Amino acid sequence: MRCGRCRAPAVIEVRRHNAGYCSACFVRHCREQVRRAIEHYTMIEPGERVLVAVSGGKDSLGLWQLLRELGYEADGLHLGLGIGEYSEASAEYARVFAAARGYPLREVTLATEYGFDVDGGARAAKRAPCSACGLSKRHVFNDVASEHGYPVLATGHNLDDEAAVLFGNVLRWDTELLGRQHPVLAAAPGFVRKVKPLIRLSEREMAAYCIVAGIDYIVEECPMAAGNRHLGYKSALNDIEERSPGTKAAFVFGFLERARPQFVGGAETARGGLRACSVCGSPTPADTCAFCRMRARAVGEPISVRSSP
Amino acid sequence: MRVVLRNPRRELDVPAPRNVGQLLYDLEIVPESVLVIRNDTLATRDERLDDHDRIEIRPVISGGAA
């Protein structure tokens, strides 16, 4: 196979674009997809500082490098989740990556800062581990971005992530979540803007980008994610994509352009009814936000009373 | 040829030569869900793999339901 742009030997085929790319042209393709996503959805304004949520995996490390290559002042934030050796190894990949490139990396640890880990939070709140993990990330990322004056938080959600979430929301007809699903979640009182610049790149493209760009990332999967519903959706969508290349992109971008507007009203109503959490001040529909309730249960405190861990 | 698979890590001996697409078909692996790396370089579906090649089939699907 030859690169469709320069005719050099290709290293990857992207079937939904009906194209092969050599290493150099593939890196340019990835940069171009991120640049187009940022511009099309007005994700980042010129001069804005960006905080990148960095796990040590392919998507977040690849995103961080792509944003830097595109000229953004992007710093990293790693959240230590306390998932044993997996968390320690993930953090080390993030540290080595940042140190080698001179990128500033902030680190926060759930156990140190909040007094519990993902497993403890999941058990205490009777949530699935992935749910406790997601709740913790959303809360802490927003907290740190707000505290340090970053107007934008960028996450490494890619096309496959968005397709899988959309698939799940459609299967349950969760109209509020359908209305909220977008590559940009606008800033609001208590919330920084959240953006997903990898929406135009698949998981496979991000893994390939890391290999071509010399980014060493953690390949092992989180031990708590094994067998979860989200991975099942991804697998099902990949089976369809194999038979019909371009289906995932058509599903996500068709939804954003033609279906999502019908669900936006419900999501806006839900966001408009938020008030400040009695413990941390974050926006919440309840008296105490879900993260503070989980934390209180995990550390054995009465809900609505915040003390230092 | 020796083929390394990940998550969990294991190794297989597979008769060579064969191309990448055939290898994935024989192992019943959906091509969209992996990258094939030959001697530290990405390999496309049509590339021929030989006995002396070091092959890694690396999964690309990851993530919890955040």
CATH no. of A38-299: 3.40.50.620
CA distance A14 to A26: 10
Percent of chain A scored above 70 by pLDDT?
96
pLDDT tens digits, residue range A67-103?
Answer: 999 999 999 999 999 999 999 999 999 999 999 999 9
Mutate to test the interface with B, among A142, A201, A220, A240 (most CBs of B within 10 A): A220
Judge contact between A228 and A135, C-beta under 8 A: no
Residue of A20, A137, A231 with shortest CB distance to B44? A20
- What pLDDT was estimated at residue B65? 45
Query: What is the per-residue pLDDT for B64?
Result: 54
The predicted-structure confidence for A184-207, as pLDDT tens digits, reads as follows: 999 998 899 999 999 999 999 999
B46 touches chain A (CB under 8 A): yes
Q: What pLDDT is attached to residue A113?
A: 95
Closest CA to A203 of B38, B62, B41: B62
Domain edges within chain A: 38-299
Q: Which two tokens stand for residue A40?
A: 């099309």
Which of A208-212, A217-221, A226-230, A270-274 has the highest mean predicted lDDT (pLDDT)?
A: A208-212
Give the CATH fold of the B2-59 domain: Ubiquitin-like (UB roll) (3.10.20)
Cα(first)–Cα(last) distance of chain A, in Å?
57
Residue B11 pLDDT more than 60? Answer: yes
In angstroms, rounded to a whole number, what is the distance separating the alpha carbons of residues A131 and A44?
A: 28
Tell me the domain boundaries of chain B: 2-59
Specify the pairing of strand B41-42 against strand B34-38: antiparallel
* Cβ-based contacts of B46 with chain A (< 8 Å): 1
Secondary structure of A166-213 in HEC code, one letter for each residue: HHHHHHCCCHHHHHHCCCEECCECCECEEECCECCCCHHHHHHHHHHH
Cα A72 from chain centroid (whole Å):
18
User: Over the stretch A13-50, which tens digit does the pLDDT of each residue have?
Assistant: 999 999 999 999 999 999 999 999 999 999 999 999 99
d(CA A172, CA A233): 13
- Whether the CB of B10 is below 8 Å from some CB of chain A: the reply is no
Tell me, what DSSP letter sits at residue A85? H
Q: Tell me whether residues B66 and A238 touch, CB distance under 8 A.
A: no
Contacts of A239 in chain B (CB under 8 A): 30
B48 touches chain A (CB under 8 A): no
Q: A204, B66: Cβ pair inside 8 Å?
A: no
Measured CA to CA, the distance from residue A83 to residue B39 in angstroms comes to 32
Residues of B in contact with A58 (CB under 8 A): 60, 62
Alpha carbons within 13 angstroms on the beta-carbon side of residue A255 total 24
Residue of B7, B41, B64 with shortest CB distance to A11: B41
Q: What is the DSSP letter of A107?
A: E
| The pLDDT of residue A199 | 98
H-only helix segments in chain A:
23-40, 58-69, 84-101, 110-114, 118-125, 129-147, 159-171, 175-180, 203-213, 229-243, 247-254, 264-272, 290-299
Are residues B50 and B1 in contact, defined by beta-carbon separation less than 8 angstroms?
yes
Query: Concatenated DSSP letters for B8-35?
Result: TTEEEE--S-EEHHHHHHHTT--GGGEE
Buried b (16+ CB within 10 A) or exposed e, A53-81: bbbbbbbbbbbbbbbbeeebebbbbbbbb
Determine, for residues A228 and B41 on separate chains, whether the beta-carbon distance falls below 8 Å: no
**A104-108, A224-228, A267-271, A293-297: which has the minimum mean pLDDT?**
A267-271
Q: What percent of chain A has pLDDT over 90?
A: 86
Tell if the pTM clears 0.90, that is, is over it: yes
Let me know: does A1 contact A13? Beta carbons within 8 Å. yes
B44 touches chain A (CB under 8 A): yes
What's chain A's Rg over C-alpha atoms?
20
Q: Are A51 and A75 in contact (CB under 8 A)?
A: yes
